[in-house]
Amino acid sequence: MAVMGGSSYTRGFHALGRGAFAYLSPPGTWGWSNCGLVIAERRALLVDTQFTVSLTRELLDAIEARFPGVEIATVVTTHANGDHCWGNQLLVDAEVIGSAACEHDMAEEVQPEQLAALSGPNAPDTPLGDYMRRHFGVFDFTDVRVTPPTRTFTGQLKVPLGDRVVELTEVGPAHTDGDVIVHVPDAGVLYAGDILFMGGHPIMWTGPIDNWIAACDRIRDTGANRIVPGHGPVTDPAGVETFRAYLEWVARRAEQAYAAGLPYWEAGAPSTIPQSYGGWGNPERLVITMAAAYRALGESTHGLMEVLAHAAAAEPHKAGR
Ligand SMILES: [Zn+2]
């Protein structure tokens, strides 16, 4: 994993140059997502909010403390997963931009009250209930009102910000239906949302994986050299290449295993992961990715709960966590 020098992986803001910042949320596991901030002439564009109202309030307080007087004019929602947009309700004065597919996806996603029920103290006493409690039980979803974009687009959109321009590109469906990447050309910075995970196995909810690989190529083609993933530390083009190679491996593994008649949860078992990705967290998420890859290869739809239950069962080293 390539980590940018001088930008350690600690909670809060990290300067990337020319008024561009990453707001990092270690450890980057389920729900701990990064945000971005671009500032020009006392106006700011925020990339994503946090998973809960209180975590988003913490983010906004940090912005006010570090950048007093700066007004958040625009919020970009990179995709519909709650850990990237369930704080949108606190940005009532900003324009919230997302892809049209993201807006649709936000209504279809697991809703906050459902996730609270699946991961709260009354979650079922099953391996899946235990998994959900351990990974999501620390988040408080009670006040979340899912707040969709106020402006949607397809393809590309250039957003003026003071004296500069920020470029949004829709690259989904890949991780989700409506994935958007955010490029700040005059800073050489790119916010990838969950098109990029660093240090942990990604989750492919929709695919197809070829689109996701193409999205990595689009990131490379921007020439940006500081790249902020949706989860994990800030990286560079070499980090993107490593991640792209992982997706290529998953694509080949899916094709071979599907042809051999292996069920997706065996095809995605953590024991099949090559040594080179052995240090990445949440290896059981490969089961979820493999289910999506199988659907693209023609297998009929799997229910979300079924897929999550297989992932939970595949999680290694559960004891003592
Ligand atoms: Zn995420």
**For 105-130, how does the pLDDT look when each residue is reduced to its tens digit (9 = 90+)?**
999 889 999 999 999 988 989 999 99
- Structure token pair of residue 14: 């990290």
Distance 266 CA to ligand 1 centre (A): 25
The helix, strand and coil proportions of the chain, stated in percent and rounded to the nearest 5, come to 35, 20, 40
Full domain range(s) for residue 106:
12-248
Distance 85 CA to ligand 1 centre (A): 10
Q: pLDDT for 249-279, tens place per residue?
A: 999 999 999 999 999 999 999 999 999 999 9
Q: How confident is the model at residue 318 (pLDDT cuts 50, 70, 90)?
A: low
Identify whether 31 is part of a domain: yes
* Number of domains composing the chain: 1
What is the share, in percent, of the chain residues with pLDDT greater than 70? 97
Distance 192 CA to ligand 1 centre (A): 11
Supply the CATH number for residue 218's domain. Answer: 3.60.15.10
Distance 163 CA to ligand 1 centre (A): 30
Identify whether 162 is part of a domain: yes
Amino acid at 117: A
Identify whether 259 is part of a domain: no
Q: What is the mean pLDDT of the chain?
A: 95
Distance 259 CA to ligand 1 centre (A): 31
Whether residue 18 is predicted with pLDDT greater than 70 in this model: the reply is yes
Identify whether 268 is part of a domain: no
Distance 31 CA to ligand 1 centre (A): 6
**Cβ atoms 222, 53 nearer than 8 A:** no
Given this model, what pLDDT does residue 183 score? 98
Identify whether 81 is part of a domain: yes
Distance 96 CA to ligand 1 centre (A): 18
Identify whether 91 is part of a domain: yes
Given this model, what pLDDT does residue 301 score? 82
Query: Which stretches of the chain are DSSP H helices?
Result: 53-66, 100-108, 112-119, 127-136, 209-222, 237-259, 264-267, 285-296, 304-314
Identify whether 1 is part of a domain: no
Identify whether 273 is part of a domain: no
Q: Is 145 exposed, middle or buried (0-12, 13-18, 19+ CB in 10 A)?
A: exposed
Between helices 127-136 and 112-119, what is the axis angle to 10°? 110
Distance 169 CA to ligand 1 centre (A): 18
Given this model, what pLDDT does residue 7 score? 59
Given this model, what pLDDT does residue 230 score? 98
Given this model, what pLDDT does residue 286 score? 98
Given this model, what pLDDT does residue 321 score? 43
